[in-house]
């Protein structure tokens, strides 16, 4: 257990009377791609808000690298459910925002920008403002902006919720490529089970409210995964059953 990147222990969060997260305990391993699936409204966004220490838990604790979570010293990043690309910056400036705020040296900024823009296929629109590009490109900008920092721990909250299904597969490949090239530990929240099975090395399945962990499913299919293969469909159905079974 000591080799875990992130340790979550007995995490509980309630809003007044309403108990949303009930006693969650899990680990995230270094460099891992972990997905969290759960029904709508079960508290997935709440979980991420706790993990990013935006909110404080009612009970329990979160450690990164064995130390209590502190966003000032730990390099973590967050892609929100709603789009958050800054409309007043161009695509390229958006991708560089975090690196400039953190005062990365110019050569590093240039190199990371190239890397990220290439992987996310944004080169052709780098001078454009966000209202001039598609919703999928805008979301890629936000994802790129986070990956460019090579965060230790990257939280993604259904970054494709608003996107067309046909863009998703392409983006998912891009995210996996970024995960591998940056070595960032990723926690990806979704309510789309197919997406989770396509991406994750492990998948945490949440129950309905009050939310607890129903199962942790290891998915050891090789990448890139074939969404039509029998193994893939079997895992997908298994997780779907777990969520439906409630």
Partner 1 sequence: MNGFSERAAPRRLLRLLPLLSLLAFLSVWHLAALCTDLLATPLDTAKALAGMLFFPTSKVTLLHHVWASLCRVLAAYALAIAAGVLLGVLFGWSRRFHDYCYPIFELLRPIPPIAWIPLIIMWLGIGEPSKIAVCFIGSVVPILVNTYFGVSRLDPTYLKSAKILGAGQRALLTHVILPGALPSILTGMKVALSSGWVCVIAAEMIAARKGLGYLIIRSMESGDMVHILVAMILIGSVNFLFSWLFSKLEGVVCPW
Ligand X SMILES: Nc1ncnc2c1ncn2[C@@H]1O[C@H](COP(=O)(O)OP(=O)(O)OP(=O)(O)O)[C@@H](O)[C@H]1O
Q: At what angle do helices 135-147 and 91-101 cross, to 10 degrees?
A: 20
Two tokens, residue 101? 């705020």
Q: Does 84 bind partner 1 (CB under 8 A)?
A: yes
Residue 188 and residue 33 in contact, taking contact as beta carbons nearer than 8 Å: yes
Q: How far is CA 57 from the centre of its chain?
A: 20
Q: Does 45 bind ligand X (CB under 6 A)?
A: yes
Q: Which is nearer to Mg ion, 175 or 206 (CB)?
A: 206
Among 23, 45, 52, 84, binds Mg ion (CB under 5 A): 45
Q: Does 223 bind ligand X (CB under 6 A)?
A: no
Per-residue CA distances from 42 to 7, 22, 94, 243 (Å):
21, 11, 31, 11
Q: Which is nearer to Mg ion, 81 or 212 (CB)?
A: 81
Residues in 51-110 that interact with ligand X by CB under 6 A: 81
Q: Which is nearer to ligand X, 19 or 177 (CB)?
A: 19
Please choose which of partner 1, ligand X, Mg ion, none residue 71 contacts, taking the beta carbon within 5 to 8 angstroms, the exact cut-off set by kind: partner 1
Please choose which of partner 1, ligand X, Mg ion, none residue 102 contacts, taking the beta carbon within 5 to 8 angstroms, the exact cut-off set by kind: partner 1
* DSSP-derived secondary structure for 27-50: EE-TT-EEEEE--TTSSHHHHHHH
Q: Which is nearer to Mg ion, 47 or 175 (CB)?
A: 47
Residue 160 and residue 139 in contact, taking contact as beta carbons nearer than 8 Å: yes
| Least distance (Å) between residue 161 CB and ligand X | 7
Among 43, 57, 98, 144, binds ligand X (CB under 6 A): 43
Q: Judged by CB under 6 A, how many residues of this single chain contact ligand X?
A: 13
**CA-angle at 152, arms to 128 and 78, nearest 5°:** 45
Helices (H), the chain: 44-51, 91-101, 106-119, 135-147, 165-182, 193-199, 230-244
Interface with partner 1 (CB under 8 A): 52, 54, 71, 76-78, 80, 82, 84, 86-89, 97-98, 101-102, 129-131, 142, 145-146, 149
Interface with Mg ion (CB under 5 A): 45, 81
């Amino acid at each position: 257990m000591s080799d875990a990147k992130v340790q979550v222990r007995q995490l509980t969060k309630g809003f007044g009377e309403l108990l949303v997260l009930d006693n969650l305990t899990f680990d995230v391993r270094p460099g891992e791609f972990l997905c969290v699936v759960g029904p709508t409204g079960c508290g997935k966004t709440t979980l991420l808000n706790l993990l990013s220490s935006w909110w404080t838990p009612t009970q329990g604790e979160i450690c990164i690298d064995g130390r209590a979570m502190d966003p000032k010293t730990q390099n973590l990043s967050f892609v929100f459910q709603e789009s958050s690309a800054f409309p007043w910056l161009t695509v390229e400036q958006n991708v560089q925002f975090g690196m400039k705020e953190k005062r990365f040296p110019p050569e590093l900024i240039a190199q990371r920008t190239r890397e990220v823009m290439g992987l996310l296929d944004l080169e052709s629109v780098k001078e454009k403002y966000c209202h001039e590009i598609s919703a999928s490109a805008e979301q890629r900008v936000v994802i790129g902006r986070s990956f460019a920092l090579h965060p230790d721990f990257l939280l993604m909250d259904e970054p494709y919720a608003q996107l067309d299904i046909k863009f998703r597969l392409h983006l998912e490949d891009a995210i996996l490529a970024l995960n591998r090239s940056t070595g960032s530990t990723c926690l990806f929240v979704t309510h789309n089970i197919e997406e989770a099975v396509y991406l994750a090395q492990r998948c945490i399945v949440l129950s309905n409210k009050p939310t607890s962990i129903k199962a942790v499913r290891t998915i050891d299919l090789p990448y890139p995964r074939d969404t039509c293969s029998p193994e893939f469909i079997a895992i997908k159905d298994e997780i779907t059953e777990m969520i439906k079974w409630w």
